[in-house]
Amino acid sequence: MTDELVRRTAAHTARAIADGEVSAVETTQAHLDRIGSVDGRVHAFLHVNADGALAAARTVDDRRAAGERLGPLAGVPLALKDVIATKGLPTTCGSRILEGWVPPYDATVAARLRAAGVVILGKTNMDEFAMGSSTEHSAFGPTHNPWDLSRIPGGSGGGSAAAVAAFEAPVAVGTDTGGSIRQPAAVTGTVGVKPTYGGVSRYGLVALASSLDQAGPCARTVLDAALVHATIAGHDPLDTTSIEAPVPAVVAAAEAADVRGMRLGVVRQFAGEGYQPGVEARFREAVELLEGVGATVVEVDCPHFTYALPAYYLILPSECSSNLARFDAMRYGLRVGDDGTASAEEVMAATREAGFGAEAKRRIILGTYALSSGYYDAYYGQAQKVRTLIQRDFAAAFEQADVLVSPTTPTTAFRLGERVDDPMAMYLADLCTIPSNLAGNASMSLPCGLAAEDGLPVGFQVIAPPMADDRLYRVGGALEAALSDRWGHLLIDEAPDLVTATAGEPS
C-alpha cells in the first residue's frame, strides 16, 4: 500500500483523502517511510519534519471527520525548498552561515500552504543561497538525481525536484532566479513552473536577487503543478512587488489541455551548437505532437537573447552582493571569531570566511566589483540596458506567437563533479531559462521524453507573457496528454525503483 500511495498524483491523493478512501495520516506516513528508504542515497532533504507533518495530517483528518469540505490540496504532502522561511523549522539556504537558524515567522508561501491543509514534509537541499545549477554548492553535500545517482539533479533547487522524482513527495515548492525550478525539472523528468514575477509573494523568501527571484511549483503532472500554483499565488500586501490582479485560471487551463488555434513560437536563438542531439530530437518531436493536436508553429527571432547570460551574471551578483551583506554575524546565524577582544569588523570577516562557500564568495566579489565606483555604468548599467532589449524581444515575439517554446536546458543531467570547477560550463546549463527571469515572464518545463544517448529525461520549455500563466498549462497539459497517449503512461513512471536499483550508484 505504501508504494501505491507515494506514486499517486497530488490530485488523486487529495480526492482520496476527501472521500475517506485513505487518511491524511496514512498518506503522510507512507511518504515519510519512502524518505526513510531512499533519501540516504538521494539526499533531497536537509530537514524532515516528521512530527509536525503527522500533526498537520491529523488536523486534516479531524476536519474531514467533522464534515468540513476540504480544499483541493488538503492532506497532500509537500517538500519545501530551504530558502523559504518556515516558523519552527530550520531555514539554512544550504549555507553554513545560517545553519540551525529557525525563523520566528512563515513566508507567505508557507503560510498559504498551511492554510490550505497542505502537509509540509520538510525542507529540501539546494545550492547555497540558490547560487548554482547542480545542487553541488550546498554546504551540506550534493543531492543525487533519482534517474542516475551519479548525476546532478539540477540546481539550485535540485532537492525539491529530486524529492518529487524519487516519490518522496508528490509536489514541492522551489524558487527560480535564473532557471532554478525549470532546469532541475528538466533533468529529473518532472514539471516545474516559474510564475510571472510578482505573481507569487516573495515575502519570506531569503533573497538572492530581488528583481529575479520567484517561487513556484514542482510536480509530476501539469495538473498537480497548477493546483500548487493556484494555492500559493495571489496578491500579498507584504510584498511591494506583488501584482494586484486575479490569479490566472491555471487549474482550468491544465484540465482543458487544449492548444487548438494557439501559435507556438520556436525561438531561433535556442538552437545550434552546444545542444545535445537527443535533446534537440525530443524537442522537435514534442513540437510536432503539439502541431498534430491543433497548434500552429512559427519561428521567432529574439536577437538579444544571446546577451542574456552575460547580462544575468552581472545583475544577479550585483543584487546578491547587496542582499547577502545582511549576514554580518551581528543579529542571527553563524558567529565566528568573537573572543571578546575582536572588533565587529573582524568578527564579520571571520564569520563570512567560514560561513560562505566558494560560489557565494565568487558571486559576491563579482557583484561588488560591478557596483563599485567607476565600473557601475560600464557593467551593471549596461547589463540593465540589455535586460530592456530582451524585454522588447519578448514583446515583439508575443505579437507573432501566443507562447514561445524551446528545450529547457541544452543537455541532460551531467555527472556530479563534471563541471564543479568550471563556472562557465555550469552557467551554460541555464542558457534557455535566464531570459524569462530577466523579463519577468511565466515559464514552465515539462518532460518530453528520454535522450537516446543516455536514457535520461529531456525538458520542454514553454514561455508565456506576464500574467498569462494559464497558457503554460494549456500547452503543458496538451503535450503531457499527447505523450501519455503515445507511451501509455507518464514519463516519470519509467524512473528506476530506488528501493531495489543498484545501477548508477554514486561513487
- Given a contact cutoff of 8 angstroms between Cβ atoms, the answer to whether 293 and 474 are in contact is no
- Given a contact cutoff of 8 angstroms between Cβ atoms, the answer to whether 492 and 440 are in contact is no
Euclidean distance between CA atoms 410 and 276, whole angstroms: 6
Catalytic site includes residue 180: yes
CA end-to-end distance (rounded Å), the chain:
32
- Picking from 414, 34, 460, the residue whose alpha carbon sits closest to that of residue 283 is 460
- Given a contact cutoff of 8 angstroms between Cβ atoms, the answer to whether 226 and 267 are in contact is no
Contacts of 156 (CB under 8 A, 6+ apart): 94, 126, 127, 130, 131, 132, 133, 135, 137, 175, 177, 180
Euclidean distance between CA atoms 58 and 171, whole angstroms: 19
Q: Name the active-site residue from 23, 95, 134, 156.
A: 156
- Given a contact cutoff of 8 angstroms between Cβ atoms, the answer to whether 200 and 109 are in contact is yes
Q: For residue 488, what are the CA distances in angstroms to 101, 484, 493?
A: 46, 5, 10
Euclidean distance between CA atoms 264 and 298, whole angstroms: 6
Residue entry with cell 503535450: 479
Catalytic site includes residue 156: yes
Q: Name the active-site residue from 23, 81, 134, 406.
A: 81
Sign (positive/negative) of CA torsion 506, 78, 131, 175? positive
Backbone angles phi, psi at 310, to 5 degrees: -65, -35
CB atoms within 10 A of CB 452: 12
CA-atom Rg of the chain in angstroms: 21
Catalytic site includes residue 81: yes
Euclidean distance between CA atoms 236 and 308, whole angstroms: 30
Q: Name the active-site residue from 180, 201, 242, 436.
A: 180
Cis peptide before 156 (omega within 30 of 0): yes
Beta bridge partners of 361: none
Residue entry with cell 503543478: 225
Catalytic sites, residue numbers: 81, 156, 180
